[in-house]
């Protein structure tokens, strides 16, 4: 058996040889990871503390196009929770689930408190077999309806939180037509197809996530081409008749799960009911297959409400029947791979939560996949879109003193550029700035549909903002450049040694180490006028954000500088006359990196630019003079 399928190979008797409580709970997670998930993303991770298992979402495996609101992610997590509860029951544990024990986005989605109690031992040990052998079967089903006692059993799973509607006959066929049309509309979106194609795998894949083509009935040779075809062609449109035939003539029943409200807890509970039905179905050789499109896409769910005659919000639609052919399991990450491997990411999230608490406005932390980079950003406020681009690889948190006030007037998007914060890491050399920074943010703006966006860019983020304006591929309203690169040629003397790779590497690994918080604090305070301009909370955030990423700030500075001048690609002086958008430039009088005297000369080359010099201020005006900075930026953008 290949490594990516080893997770299914569980000896259920191994549990009884375990003495340590921690290892017993860890064993239960072998069953958790076998749960179904949208696109087989497996968006879960786990932590064990005493007699408690915490279930957490893994933001790295979110579906950023097809599941923008995370509904499918939470349904998937609900399935994993149900697997833990079922396995725990079979091994003699009583359990209690606490949903969202901490309201912070980075904490547990659910905590499962477990206690050994032989009286709770399940009489039906066959449930463990269902956990191990359950499989999603997308093929044809026989026409035979499930037996009445089974249909009665799944109806008993309904409660005041989750409604179960079993559709057959004409109602089933109406639901089938809705599902097929929704799938076609979903595949009309090129970004949806691109995302799906990245999760569809050939039949020889060694990946531990994603859907091998054999799960969709695609033979080996064609499986090699399938991801490419899915990416560029709306195959659902071509297969409309075949899909309708599958759902109408080879699916005896369709089940719709719905809830009176539409919260994350509702999604979790719907996932639990879905998995309960899955496990009961397997016991009598029934199969299921989810169709998410009518739930996720546009307003097709309203059509399902008419079919089921309810005002409840549909959460899941899936096929049910006896399969004509058996199918193989999809690959899996193992439980051991998903426990105790996220401490550094958790550290960043913890410090990020602290910054969010200081801002005192509602902030959403989200991810989006752009140019093969998983990009993290925060969103807050309402109004015209405003994109904040930080300097170097400092991360979105540099704007924590500004977001609160800015979000009173704008919808603020504060992005972690590639290599910063919670976005994907980069190597420490040969970074293609045009592709990595500029093109990524162009697509970021396009995907999120930030029309007539205002941009505030700092340092390297200022250069990125200038390139965005000059390329004219996205519609930009106004830009604010804060201590921007691109308007000067010279390299400050203190940074000239960093232009030599060996020296930059030596200094970053000995003198100023990113693994020492004191060194990171000194790095930040070395570029400002007064040391008190940087808060302890931001230092903690910056220090935590540095650890998972390989790029030391000095190595990034090395990439940007030459011994005599900054890199040629960063010098935009000759192009400034082409900028037609209104520009505000803010620079500190005592900035040791971007000299105010140089900016004073070059800003005049921009036809519609205004320069503001902050006295007694260094390279971080948004921190050093936050009140003046916020007032000036808001006044300029609203004028």
535, 357 in Cβ contact below 8 A?
Answer: no
3-state SS, residue 513: coil
51, 77 in Cβ contact below 8 A?
Answer: no
Is 198 part of any domain? no
Strands ordered across the beta sheet of 287-290: 163-167, 253-259, 313-321, 287-290
Triad 184, 188, 193: Cα angle to 5°: 100
Is 195 part of any domain? no
325, 140 in Cβ contact below 8 A?
Answer: yes
pLDDT of residue 452: 95
Closest residue by Cα to residue 594 from 520, 477, 489: 489
DSSP 55-124: EEE-GGG--TTTTTT-HHHHHHHHHHHHHHHHHHHHTTEEEEEEE-SS-STTS-SEEEEEEE-GGG--S-
pLDDT of residue 338: 83
Same domain, 273 and 366: no
Same domain, 486 and 534: yes
pLDDT of residue 345: 60
What is the tens place of the pLDDT at every residue in 24-67? 999 999 999 999 999 999 999 998 888 999 999 987 788 888 99
Same domain, 293 and 416: no
70, 44 in Cβ contact below 8 A?
Answer: no
What is the tens place of the pLDDT at every residue in 202-246? 999 999 999 999 998 899 999 999 999 999 999 999 999 999 999
What is the tens place of the pLDDT at every residue in 55-101? 999 877 888 889 988 999 999 999 999 999 999 999 999 999 999 98
Same domain, 541 and 505: yes
pLDDT greater than 70 at residue 430: no
**Confidence label for 541 from pLDDT (cuts 50, 70 and 90):** confident
Same domain, 374 and 520: yes
Q: Mean of the per-residue pLDDT values for the chain?
A: 89
At which residue do the structure tokens 């979105």 appear?
396
pLDDT greater than 50 at residue 342: no
122-131, 352-361, 441-450, 621-630: segment of lowest average pLDDT: 122-131
**Number of domains observed in the structure of the chain:** 2
Is 94 part of any domain? no
**CATH code: domain of residue 315:** 3.40.109.10
**Confidence label for 509 from pLDDT (cuts 50, 70 and 90):** confident
225 vs 350, more confident: 225
Average pLDDT of the residues in 149-170: 92
Please tell me the pTM assigned to this model: 0.66
411 vs 350, more confident: 411
Which helix (H) or strand (E) segment holds residue 163: the answer is strand 163-167
Domain that holds residue 519: 343-638
Residue 148: burial class (beta carbons within 10 Å; 0-12, 13-18, 19+): exposed
**Confidence label for 103 from pLDDT (cuts 50, 70 and 90):** very low
pLDDT greater than 60 at residue 427: no
Same domain, 386 and 530: yes
pLDDT of residue 579: 95
What is the tens place of the pLDDT at every residue in 294-324? 999 999 999 999 999 999 999 999 999 999 9
Same domain, 363 and 434: yes
Question: Quick count: other Cβ atoms within 10 Å of Cβ 482?
Answer: 29
Is 238 part of any domain? yes
Same domain, 318 and 424: no
As beta bridge partners, residue 289 has 319
pLDDT greater than 70 at residue 627: yes
Is 17 part of any domain? no
pLDDT greater than 50 at residue 429: no
Closest residue by Cα to residue 520 from 497, 544, 485: 544
Strands ordered across the beta sheet of 410-416: 363-370, 373-381, 410-416, 384-389, 453-458, 476-482, 583-588, 609-614
pLDDT of residue 104: 41
Asked which of 325, 358, 376 is the last residue of a domain, the reply is: 325
Strands 93-99 and 110-116: antiparallel
């Amino acid at each position: 058996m290949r490594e990516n399928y080893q997770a299914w190979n569980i000896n259920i008797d191994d549990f009884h040889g375990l003495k340590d409580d921690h290892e017993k709970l860890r064993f239960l997670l072998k069953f958790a990871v076998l749960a179904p998930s949208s696109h087989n993303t497996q968006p879960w991770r786990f932590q064990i503390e005493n007699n408690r298992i915490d279930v957490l979402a893994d933001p790295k495996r979110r579906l950023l196009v097809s599941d923008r609101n995370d509904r499918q992610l939470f349904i998937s997590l609900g399935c994993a929770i149900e697997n833990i509860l079922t396995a725990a029951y079979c091994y003699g544990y009583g359990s209690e689930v606490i949903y969202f024990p901490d309201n912070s986005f980075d904490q547990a989605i659910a905590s499962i408190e477990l206690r050994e109690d032989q009286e709770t031992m399940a009489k039906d040990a066959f449930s463990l077999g269902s956990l191990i052998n359950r499989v999603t079967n997308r093929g044809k089903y026989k026409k035979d309806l499930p037996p009445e006692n089974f249909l009665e059993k799944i109806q008993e799973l309904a409660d005041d939180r989750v409604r179960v509607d079993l559709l057959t006959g004409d109602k089933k066929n109406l639901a089938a037509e809705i599902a097929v049309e929704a799938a076609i509309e979903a595949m009309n979106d090129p970004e949806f197809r691109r995302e799906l194609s990245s999760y569809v795998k050939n039949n020889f894949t060694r990946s531990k996530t994603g859907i091998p083509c054999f799960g969709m009935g695609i033979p080996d040779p064609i499986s090699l081409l399938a991801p490419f075809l899915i990416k560029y062609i709306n195959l659902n449109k071509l297969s409309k008749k075949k899909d309708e035939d599958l759902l109408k003539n080879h699916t005896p029943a369709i089940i719709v799960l719905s809830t009176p409200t539409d919260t994350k807890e509702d999604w979790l509970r719907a996932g639990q009911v879905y998995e309960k039905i899955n496990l009961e179905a397997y016991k009598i050789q029934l199969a299921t297959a989810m169709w998410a499109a009518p739930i996720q896409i546009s307003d097709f769910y309203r059509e399902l409400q008419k079919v089921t005659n309810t005002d409840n919000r549909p959460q899941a639609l899936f096929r049910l029947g006896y399969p004509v052919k058996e199918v193989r399991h999809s690959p899996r990450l193992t439980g051991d791979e998903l426990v105790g491997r996220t401490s550094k990411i958790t550290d960043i999230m913890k410090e990020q939560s602290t910054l969010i608490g200081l801002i005192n406005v509602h902030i959403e932390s989200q991810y989006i996949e752009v140019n093969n980079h998983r990009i993290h950003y925060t969103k807050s406020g309402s109004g015209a879109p405003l994109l904040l681009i930080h300097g170097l690889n400092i991360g979105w948190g540099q704007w924590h003193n500004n977001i609160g006030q800015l979000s009173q007037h704008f919808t603020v998007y504060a992005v972690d550029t590639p290599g910063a914060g919670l976005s994907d890491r980069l190597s420490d050399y040969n970074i293609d700035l045009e592709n990595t920074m500029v093109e990524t943010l162009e697509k970021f703006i396009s995907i999120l549909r930030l029309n007539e966006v205002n941009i505030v860019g700092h340092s390297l983020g200022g250069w990125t903002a200038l390139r965005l304006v000059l390329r004219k591929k996205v519609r930009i309203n106004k830009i604010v450049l804060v201590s921007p690169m691109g308007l000067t040629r010279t390299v400050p003397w203190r940074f000239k040694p960093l232009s030599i790779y060996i020296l930059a590497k030596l200094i970053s690994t000995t003198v100023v180490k990113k693994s020492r918080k004191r060194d990171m604090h000194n790095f930040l305070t070395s570029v400002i006028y007064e040391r008190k301009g940087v808060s302890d909370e931001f230092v903690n955030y910056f220090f935590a954000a540095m650890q998972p990423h390989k790029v030391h700030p000095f190595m990034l500075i090395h990439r940007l500088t030459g011994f005599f001048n900054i890199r040629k690609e960063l010098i935009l002086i000759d192009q400034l006359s082409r900028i037609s958008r209104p520009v505000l430039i803010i620079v500190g009088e005592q900035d040791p990196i971007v000299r105010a005297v140089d900016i004073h000369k070059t800003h005049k080359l921009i036809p519609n630019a205004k320069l503001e010099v902050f006295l007694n201020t260094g390279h971080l005006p948004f921190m050093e003079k936050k009140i003046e900075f916020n007032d000036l930026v808001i006044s300029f953008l609203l004028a």
